[in-house]
Amino acid sequence: MKFGTKAIHAGVHPDPSSGAVMTPIFQTSTYVQDAPGKHKGFEYARTQNPTRNVLQENLAALENGKHGICFGSGLAALDAILKLLSPGDEVISTNDLYGGSYRLMTKVFGKYGIKFHYVGMNDTKELTTLINENTKMIWIETPTNPMLNIIDIKAVVKQAKRKDILVCVDNTFASPYLQTPLDLGADIVLHSATKYLGGHSDVVHGAVIVKDDKLAEQLYFIQNAVGAVPGPQDCFLVLRGIKTLHLRVQRACENAREIANFLRRHKKVSKVYYPGFASHPNHKVAKAQMRDFGGMVSFDLKANTKASANQILRRTELFALAESLGGVESLIGHPASMTHASIPKKDRLKVGLTDSLIRLSVGIEDVGDLKKDLSEALK
């Protein structure tokens, strides 16, 4: 089954009680039992919900995995993954990552004896100096947030498997339409389904997908034990969004390509970060492991000040100044003061995240209107 067909049909069946084509929202907290322990597969809605089950099956199919596990947010999903670890374990993470992930790792799990190393992974040889007997997990974002660095998933997996280390990939920026890390050897894929999977900026949701049965059993246990689960309406909204995922992401990719080229030619822009450029670090890797280069573009200004960035951020009309990404509408943001403010400035600057860096989530509007909006703001 090809991707576009899977997005619409995988795991989704007409409701047997009514024939409804769309999966119903099972808005219930509990289920009647014929006798203690004798039920129809559902006991309590924290543990199972029919709407959530359909979404989990759909997500597993999209990532070419076996098990999908849903959570109340992307960070709740990351929290569950990190709970696979024990005090004394070590994690190697890319040094360019979402600020919320960094905050959860450093400020929350760091207190429980788990050590995190942050390193650039453009060259995966950097990992060899950090891997030791305590290394239990390697955390990858690719493309990274917000510098859009590309990490060679196969190359990381090759190093990790020598030591039986889990490889986890945050696939939020790419979406399963562009990239399927499990096919490249990764053990765990995470999504902030709030973004491209939901696609309409109207739901907060997270998901984890795996192939391994034992790993899935551990994550299902954490999902139920901790209870950071999404409600059935949230699951319905993500299911609804996924049906057009391939159409939305392809249009966003096409628009982003034009926007990136427009910005690269602009006299007030010093640098554009976009994996589709042949000059972008690891462009060849992106070409090999992705279907297209995504809908995200970051750029820096020649003026190189926060004030100059703020002038542009205040002046766009179609690009809405807001956090998040991956919706049908275009968004513009300032990572240093918004999504990545929790990362110390010295660490932001190490990866090139300056005070004048602007991040775009390019939507599916008419690209001519989007270019005109940016042109007016840059004047």
**98 carries an active-site annotation:** yes
Measure the CA–CA gap between 223 and 114, rounded to whole angstroms: 21
Instruction: Check if the beta carbon of residue 170 is closer than 8 Å to that of residue 190.
Output: yes
Which member of 6, 89, 96, 98 is catalytic?
Answer: 98
Measure the CA–CA gap between 70 and 198, rounded to whole angstroms: 13
Beta bridge partners of 271: 300
**170 carries an active-site annotation:** yes
**284 carries an active-site annotation:** no
Measure the CA–CA gap between 244 and 14, rounded to whole angstroms: 19
| Burial class of residue 50, CB neighbours in 10 A (0-12, 13-18, 19+) | buried
Which residues have CB under 8 Å from 193's CB, separation 6+? 59, 70, 74, 203, 205, 206, 207, 238
Instruction: Check if the beta carbon of residue 206 is closer than 8 Å to that of residue 190.
Output: yes
- CA torsion angle 335 339 343 344 (round to 10): 40
Cis peptide before 146 (omega within 30 of 0): yes
Half-sphere exposure of 250 (CA within 13 A, CB side): 8
**273 carries an active-site annotation:** no
Which member of 6, 52, 136, 195 is catalytic?
Answer: 195
Query: What phi and psi values does residue 248 have, to the nearest 5 degrees?
Result: -65, -45
Which member of 79, 170, 234, 355 is catalytic?
Answer: 170
Distance between first and last Cα of the chain: 48
Beta bridge partners of 118: 93
Which member of 46, 115, 154, 287 is catalytic?
Answer: 46
The set of catalytic residues is 46, 98, 170, 195
